[in-house]
Amino acid sequence: MTDSNALDPEDRKIVTLARSARARNGVPEGAAVRDETGRTYVAGTVSLDSLKLSALRTAVAMAVASGAKSLEAAAVVTEAESASAEDRAAVRDLGGPQTPVLVAGPDGTVRATLTAG
C-alpha cells in the first residue's frame, strides 16, 4: 500500500477524482486518466444492457474522443486487487507500456502502482 499523501499531487488528484466518480454515481469502479497536456477525464463503470465498459476503459475512451494523443497516468478505484489486463491494455494503447496505473481501494488508499505494459 502507498500512503496517498506521498503521491505526486497530480496523481493524488486523479485518485480523488476516480473515488468521487465511484461514490457520486454509485458504481463498482471509478477511474480517471491524465493526458499529455494535464487534462483529466473521469468516468464510472458503464453497465447497460447493450454496453458494458469498465470505468478505466470508459475514461480512456473519453480521452480519445476528446483528442488526447497520450496519457501520463491512470487511476482506478475498485474493490478488485488489481486492474484487469483489458484495462491496462486500453491505457497502454494510448499512453504506452510505461504509463503508471494506480489501483486504489474505495477509501482512496493506493494498493498498487502498475505499468500499463
Locate cell 504509463: which residue?
Answer: 99
Terminal-residue alpha carbon distance, the chain: 21
- State the number of CA atoms in the 13 A half-sphere of 60 facing the CB: 26
Range with lowest mean pLDDT among 1-10, 35-44, 105-114 = 1-10
Helix, strand, or coil here: 30? strand
The pTM is what? 0.93
Higher pLDDT, 79 or 7: 79
Interval 65-90: pLDDT, tens: 999 999 999 999 999 999 999 999 99
4 pLDDT tier (thresholds 50, 70, 90): low
Q: Band the pLDDT of 6: cuts 50, 70, 90.
A: confident
Q: Is the dihedral of CA 97, 98, 99, 102 positive or negative?
A: positive
pLDDT tens readout for residues 13-44: 999 999 999 999 999 999 999 999 999 999 99
Nearest to 18 by CA among 7, 70, 117: 7
